Amino acid sequence: MSLFYFLTFVALLSALGVVFAKNPMHSVLFLVLTFFAISGHYLLLNAQFLAAVNIIVYAGAIMVLFLFVVMFLNLNADTEPNKSALAKVAGAIAGGLLLLVLIAALRNVNPTGADLNTFDSQIGMVNRLGLVLYQQYLLPFELASVLFLVAMVGSVMLGKREVGERHF
Amino acid sequence: MDFSALTSFVISWQSLVILAVFGISLLIATYSTYAERVVAAFLQDRVGPDRAGPYGLLQPLADAVKLFTKEEFFPAGANRGLFVFGPCLAMTTALMASAVIPFGNTLLLGNGEVVRLQAIEVNIGMLYVFGVVSLGVYGLMIGGWASNNKFSLLGAIRAAAQAVSYELAMGMALIALLMVTGTLSLRQIALQQYDGLWNIVYQPLGFIIFCVCAFAETNRTPFDLPECETELVGGYHTEYSSMKMGLYLFAEYINVFVASAVMSTLYFGGFSFPGEHLLYNYLTASQSELFAHNVVTILGTVTLFAKIFFFIFFFMWVRWTLPRFRYDQLMRLGWTMLFPLAILNIILTGAFILFFGNKEAKLDVSKEAAPTEIRTVARR
């Protein structure tokens, strides 16, 4: 239980760090730390596969690309465009609405915990997850993979060099 | 019987193993710096380091003293916190990976206790190694960016692009292996190769892809573009001096050690060696079962280290043989050759399993094996 509170503390603190950090580089690193804390939560929930994949995909690949892009930015303070008040208000309203929806969704949840007698400790293991994905949820799984394929083909098309174009 | 005392005793044996794995990783990395020079000298027909101690064996100590006593330098305009954080992260992620590698089967103590020669056993070992390896690039990126130097930044950007590109092919190669083994646990994969052919027989193409990607992930020549000294001075560690520089170099050698250990475990039988069943049966007949099991385990560990040392030598051999790639060649190799090859490998593996594979047998072995079952596997 103390581990849960520690991970929650780290997750919340670093998530706040993402928003409040002035330097985009620090912001990205805080986001990586948030993903680590969330992976710790997955481990506590006995979902090892999810924890490892979260680290590999988000911390290991996507955030590396984020850093990659941030490194190309010119990070001098005077070049940063001043955000207008309208954007700030719009952001606050959008974030507040999301919070409202989340609270509404979670308000009636009654966490009872698992029944120790019927609880299956293998539930988050890789082979169990695979069986569920390929038997019970086969159609959504395949649809999601088609979606990924479309996204991949789209990115290849966008990145393809046009005839006569010179990149460097 | 005092149960708590017994538990603490078991824990202490296992923690000794953890300490030993930690120490051995560091020791091997230390002497890899020496081995690198000796191998370079051998391949170039030179003498190599021979001043410090007999055959120059104290050279790593002399290097450490030099690195520790050098001036620590912070470049102007560097982000101090991240500048220190970079090498720390590189070292930490490098050391984390050796935690799940099975360095041997089990040792049976006289009172019925079982000690696994592995720091921690997790059933997602392969994913763990892959995840930790993918984190290794952060140390390089953060250090290179925080140095406030154009060359360092270019090195960091190259490191990021290279790591992400080659991780994909590496993951694909691992997926094909996973289809053969049916388990993610490195210990189970090693045990499966105990009574049968090594995985290299089933996955020759996968091994080649994995090996090339391992070179790229550890930033070794011919893929050491992030620290390419002819173009980028020193790449991401241009501005580093003293032991912070030493940590970066050290992390690279630990990565080489881990990559060698993973390759030996996944594709070359791990701690299994030819004729172990004959030896086990012979020793069981002449001595006791306990003695036979322990002898086979210790010989297996020695074999695994022999395999690891061969791969470390292979890394160095390649470094002093092949020239460096150009950056566009590196990207083309990763995306247009290794990546399609890895997908082809997955399709071929799937077809083979579908038409020739004996699925039941494989699934049987992949089940969670209790320590006693491990012994029966060894006996077969």
Q: What is the per-residue pLDDT across A4-52, written as a single tens digit (0 to 9) for each?
A: 888 889 999 998 888 888 778 888 889 989 999 999 988 888 888 888 8
Q: Is B260 a member of any domain?
A: yes
Question: Which CATH number do you get for residue A20?
Answer: 1.20.120.1200
Contact B135 A48 (CB under 8 A): no
Pair of tokens at residue B19: 């300490």
Q: Is B38 a member of any domain?
A: no
Q: Is B240 a member of any domain?
A: yes
Q: Is A13 a member of any domain?
A: yes
Checking if the pLDDT of B66 tops 90, the result is: no
Q: Is A167 a member of any domain?
A: no
| Residue in chain A nearest B148 by alpha carbon | A71
Q: How confident is the model at residue B49 (pLDDT cuts 50, 70, 90)?
A: confident
Contact A72 B157 (CB under 8 A): yes
Cα three-residue angle A23-B145-A34, rounded to 5 degrees:
50
Q: Is B45 a member of any domain?
A: no
CB A43 within 8 A of CB B122: no
Q: Number of A:B CB contacts under 8 A?
A: 64
Q: Is A144 a member of any domain?
A: yes
Q: What is the per-residue pLDDT across A87-137, written as a single tens digit (0 to 9) for each?
A: 888 988 999 999 999 998 888 777 766 666 666 667 777 778 888 888 888
Residue B106 phi, psi (nearest 5): -95, 150
Q: Is A24 a member of any domain?
A: yes
Q: Is A131 a member of any domain?
A: yes
Q: Cβ of B96: how many Cβ atoms within 10 Å? A: 18
For the segment B24-33, the average pLDDT, to the nearest whole number, is 88
Number of compact structural domains in chain A: 1
Give the domain range for residue B289. Answer: 3-29+78-379
CB contacts, 8 Å: B171 with chain A: 56
Contact B127 A52 (CB under 8 A): yes
Q: Is A168 a member of any domain?
A: no
Cα three-residue angle B285-B288-B291, rounded to 5 degrees:
120
Q: Is B42 a member of any domain?
A: no
Determine the pLDDT at residue B366. 40
Q: Is A119 a member of any domain?
A: yes
Give the domain range for residue A69. Answer: 2-74+90-159
Please give the ipTM for the structure prediction. 0.76
Q: Cβ of A142: how many Cβ atoms within 10 Å? A: 12
Q: Is A83 a member of any domain?
A: no
Number of compact structural domains in chain B: 1
Q: Which of A27, A28, A33, A55 has the highest number of chain B CBs within 10 A, making it the mutation to test binding with B?
A: A55
Tell me if residue A153 falls in helix, strand or coil.
helix
Q: Is B66 a member of any domain?
A: no
Q: Is B178 a member of any domain?
A: yes
CB B331 within 8 A of CB B163: no
Determine the pLDDT at residue B330. 85
